[in-house]
Amino acid sequence: MRFAAGIDQYFDILRKAAPPPLSQLTVEQARAMYRFKSEKFGGPKVEVAEALDLACPGPRGPIGLRLYRPAAAAAPQPALIYLHGGGWTIGDLESHDHVCRALAIAAGFPVIAVDYRLAPEHPFPAGADDAVAATNWIAAHAADLGFDPARLAIGGDSAGGNLSAVVCLAARDAGGPTLRAQALIYPCVDCAPASADFPSRRTNAAVPPLTQDALDFFDDKYFPDKTRAVDWRASPLRTASHANLPPALILTAEYDVLRDEGHAYAAQLRASGVAVEERDYAGQIHGFIEFGGLLPDAGCAIADIAAFLRARLAG
């Protein structure tokens, strides 16, 4: 394997730290390790004009939100709704604070992050239900938030990419809200047992940070009932139709277990008449967009996402 710039340094740090596999950690320990990784490798937090914590109603109580404004603006602006990664289990607003700040500055318009409920306390479909509820609320209150309701996009990484795809399907089937674009960053789009047949699930199963051990850890927490993993809200690749969905940008990484299902989702959208752009990052690993302090490609990915969103959300 020929890894991209900075990856060997990251692996050296892992070897010296010798963290235990996720399967040997409690959920609390795994969450703490994820937050530590974000702080260690995320790089400096870029300044935004405003980072405001909010909440909206959810199916089982309030859902936390964090609004990032890159600059003050009088006119309504486009906005990105962001759903963090972490296997539906260990991410939160803090773990992706670096990413959301960087996206807001690069795009030049607000990003609003969603703190959906996590497993195992709240297993499937709690995360999907919260993501849909939060998106509906944000769209309904867009004017109050300073957003243009006709120029909303959704995006997320890994599990957040999964939830972003689910939100787009749910919005289409419910007749709204209107989403102008979706940015799926190395998304998990197939949780069904047959996903093991994707070649990248085998060839990259030992590449940190999303090893087979980590996949099993997350699946066990999010899907205590394994039969539910074929539900379209878990496996959007397997939904009956992908027609009439927002234009998509799909980012994948060469040495990621999820690479092939990202390609498959792009192909499925394209075959259904959806405009799709793909970026496959050579030599990269899962989670690289979170390593802005170590990996040059993290900044490249932020720039690619921002350019896509600006083009799709232009007035």
Predicted confidence (pLDDT) per residue in 82-126, tens digit: 999 999 999 999 999 999 999 999 999 999 999 999 999 999 999
What is the homologous superfamily of the domain 7-312 according to CATH?
A: Alpha/Beta hydrolase fold, catalytic domain (3.40.50.1820)
Total-model pTM:
0.98
Question: Domain spans of the chain?
Answer: 7-312
Spans in the chain with pLDDT lower than 70 = none
Looking at residue 233, its pLDDT comes to 98
Question: Could you write out the three-class secondary structure of the chain?
Answer: CCCCCCHHHHHHHHHHHCCCCHHHCCHHHHHHHHHHHHHHHCCCCCCCCEEEEEEECCCCCCEEEEEEECCCCCCCEEEEEEECCCCCCCCCCCCCHHHHHHHHHHHCCCEEEEECCCCCCCCCCHHHHHHHHHHHHHHHCHHHHCEEEEEEEEEEECHHHHHHHHHHHHHHHHCCCCCCEEEEECCCCCCCHHHHHCHHHHHCCCCCCCCHHHHHHHHHHHCCCHHHHHCCCCCHHHCCCCCCCCCEEEEEECCCCCHHHHHHHHHHHHHCCCCEEEEEECCCCCCHHHCCCCCHHHHHHHHHHHHHHHHHCCC
Relative orientation angle of helices 296-312 and 97-107, to the nearest 10 degrees: 50
| Active site members | 158, 256, 286
